[in-house]
Amino acid sequence: MIYIDDLISEMKSLYQVEGTIRFCHPAYEKFHQDLMDFIYENHFENTQEWETISQNLVYKSTQYMSRSEGDIILVQLDLLKRRVLAKENEGFWSYIHPLIYQVSEERFHGGFYADAVESALKEVNSRVKKLYRKYRNEEKDGQDLMRKAFTPSNPFLIFEGIDTESGRNVQEGYMQIFAGAMQGIRNPKAHENLSISREDAIKRLVLASLLMDKIDEAVRFASLSEL
């Protein structure tokens, strides 16, 4: 199995080769073979990226690869990486709330995982903030906003009736989750240059999506307008 990151690394290593890169150069031969295997294993032979790459490859021993051709190939490999990530995450994104997808998908596929999570939680905060400003005429933000909006004692956004102990427990539980997400996940991402893994980003995006789903539920329950 050939991986796109390996191909990108091989392409970058060709820049360090002394002399002219021709078809018979061992490093180029390996790159070319790995590239062909990758393209056909992943059924990318009909993509625009492959068409552009193939036009810039060396096919005869009398040809050589220029720096500009190498740059074009590297750019197209980066674009193919996005295709790979999109294929890997088709199932994952189908579970994500549309508003989270809208602000996070491009950042996530670009490998900016912390930015994708930060954008998702900022969108959650922004949505609650706009509703709270509209109906309570107050300006709140972050965990303080979440505690004010979802407090069981005088909630603005309600998930179900709070006249029962079960309803109050649900209300308080989600208030803590909303506030905790702002304090424990959004704020550190916003104030520090943190790096997280792809897997950790997926888990946090799922959480952000759940929060958006709960806002949908609260908006429906109280028949609120977001216009």
Lowest mean pLDDT among 6-15, 102-111, 141-150, 176-185: 102-111
60-80 mean pLDDT: 90
Packed helices 113-136 and 98-109: angle between N→C axes, nearest 10 degrees: 150
pLDDT at 161 over 50: yes
Please state, in angstroms and as integers, the Cα–Cα distance from residue 195 to each residue in 121, 143, 189, 192, following that order: 16, 23, 9, 9
For residue 176, how many other CB atoms are within 10 A of its CB?
A: 14
> Rounded to an integer, what distance in angstroms lies between the CA atom of residue 125 and that of residue 119?
10
> Rounded to an integer, what distance in angstroms lies between the CA atom of residue 3 and that of residue 89?
16
Total count of residues recorded for the chain: 227
Contact 103, 123 (CB under 8 A): yes
pLDDT at 191 over 90: no
Alpha-carbon 61 to chain mean position: 42
pLDDT-derived band at 90, boundaries 50, 70, 90: low
pLDDT at 61 over 90: no
What does the pLDDT look like over 35-58, one tens digit per residue?
999 999 888 888 899 999 999 999
Q: Taking the model in full, what pTM does it have?
A: 0.60
Contact 212, 147 (CB under 8 A): no
85-110 mean pLDDT: 82
pLDDT-derived band at 162, boundaries 50, 70, 90: confident
pLDDT at 14 over 60: yes
The pLDDT > 90 percentage for the chain reads: 54
Residue with tokens 């740059």: 71
